[in-house]
Amino acid sequence: MRILQIHNFYKQAGGEDTVFEQEAKLLRQHGHIVEQLTFSNGSVQGVRGKLQAAFGVIYNLQSTGVIRNSIRDFKPDVVHVHNFFPLVSPAVFYICRELGVPAVLTLHNYRLICPSAVLYYNGKVQLENIRKIFPIKAITHAIYRDSRIETASVVLTTGLHKLLGTWRTKVAKYIALTPGAAELFLHSSLQLRPEQLAVKPNFTEDIGTGEATRDDFYLYIGRLTPEKGIETLLQAHQLQPFNLKVIGDGPLRQRVEAYAATQATVEYMGFRKREETMQVLKKAKALIFPSEWLETFGMTIIEAFATGTPVIAAKLGGAAHLVQHRHNGLHYEPQQPAQLAQRVLELEHRPNLREELGKNARITYLQQYTPEANYQVLLQIYREVTGQKGTPASATVAAPAGA
């Protein structure tokens, strides 16, 4: 099969980029021909560039020629879009329909149903925009990048294409990463047909189990942003100091650096390459995943599972689905630092429980999140949209974790 992957990279690397590259590698290993067409927000420079990107997000005329030529030259069986915002634009789906190639879109975030993209602003989860075609209040509150102009561009783009029927008629299949995320999209202003949605988790390569005897620290990996629960993590540490390492970068970097400077038990490691990060993860007693938005998935969680590392996670979004309480990790209520601190103490005082959770985490990975298991689901989705024989993907992948 010939697959054209299309992806718009953000300025700051994230999990979407990892999935994009991993799926290409996986498909090539199974003999498929994969071509990647990429765009980057790094090319948007200056006021003029930002204005062009803002207006082009509805239908980017500059990218259409590149996309059309790529499809005509490569002649793919399917086009798989990971991120079209802002430089690709929904134009890609019109071009696919024009050239008779089915389009698949992975829903890495919630931008189509809320301009915040994360369903989180003003310090909490917000669901008020999900069923609105044009969520005008979002503009007045500047929920995207604290900018009314940029928020308005997202509202106008998604809303206009809702009215045009783009999302219902131009995208053959959407891939949601958990059943919970699929439900939110299904009952939204997109008015998708149930058969348009398939549930396929992300995966990670087997990076090997961690050390049998772990070093004395807990680990956070991820962006340093409010919705990731950084404040809750630091407050939990202040209530009950424990050895903590933090890997990542973002707007709250100075806050983390300042706190670490006053705490002998906190080490801020900054941004590290994935290979080095995984080596640190293999030595940690547990990964802490304090995210306070409805994560569509949680790549670091399944990476922890692969290394046999238990996860302490806020019971919300993707983490609520991936982490099974007292089986492969522990849950705590979001924005409850005292409860998070208590979960850390529980693992400190019960090393046998920590060991059991780690073993089960590894089993969870082997059963559900390996490349091979993921390949079978992805291939089934492609077969379905291209008209090849096979069981509908939406029926084969919607079983909850652990089923």
Residues 6+ apart with CB under 8 A from 100: none
The pLDDT score that the predictor gives to residue 86 is: 87
Q: Rounded CA gap, 305 and 323, in Å?
A: 9
Work out the angle at residue 250's Cα, subtended by the Cα atoms of residues 148 and 150, and round it to the nearest 5 degrees.
Answer: 15
Burial of 16 (C-beta count, 10 Å sphere; 0-12/13-18/19+): buried
The two three-digit tokens of residue 133, written as one number:
């075609």
C-alpha 163 chain-centroid distance:
27
Q: What is the pLDDT of residue 330?
A: 98
Q: Locate tokens 């202040």: which residue?
A: 238
What is d(CA 150, CA 333) in angstroms, rounded to the nearest whole number? Answer: 33
Mean pLDDT of 260-276: 96
Per-residue tokens: 310: 């238990």
Q: pLDDT digits over 220-243, tens only? A: 999 999 999 999 999 999 999 999
Which amino acid belongs to residue 226? P
Contact 281, 221 (CB under 8 A): yes
Mean of pLDDT values over 47-60: 60
Q: CA torsion angle for 198, 319, 234, 204 (degrees, to 10)? A: -70
Q: Is residue 219 a contact partner of residue 280, using CB atoms and an 8 Å limit?
A: yes
Q: In what order do the strands lie in the sheet with 329-332?
A: 266-270, 244-247, 218-221, 286-289, 311-314, 329-332
Q: Residues in the chain, how many?
A: 403
Q: Of the candidates 277, 224, 226, 273, which has an alpha carbon nearest to the alpha carbon of residue 253?
A: 224
pLDDT, position 15: 77
Q: In what order do the strands lie in the sheet with 33-40?
A: 33-40, 2-9, 78-83, 103-106, 173-176, 197-199
Distances (CA, A) of 245 to 13, 271, 337, 388: 20, 12, 17, 48
Distance, CA of 237 to chain centre? 26
List the beta strands (DSSP E) in 84-192.
Answer: 103-106, 120-121, 124-125, 173-176
Q: Could you report the per-residue pLDDT of 101-156, keeping only the tens digit for each?
A: 999 999 999 999 999 999 999 989 999 999 999 999 999 999 998 999 889 999 99
pLDDT given for residue 60 in this prediction: 86
Identify which has the larger pLDDT, 395 or 355: 355
Q: What is the mean pLDDT of the chain?
A: 92
d(CA 80, CA 2): 11
pLDDT at 391 over 80: no
CB 63 within 8 A of CB 96: no
What confidence tier does 35 reach under pLDDT thresholds 50, 70, 90?
Answer: very high
* Domains within the chain, CATH numbers bracketed: 2-203+371-396 (3.40.50.2000), 218-368 (3.40.50.2000)
Amino acid at 362: R
CB 294 within 8 A of CB 124: no
For residue 358, the SS3 value is helix
pLDDT band at 34 (very low <50, low <70, confident <90, very high): very high
Whole-number pLDDT of residue 54: 52
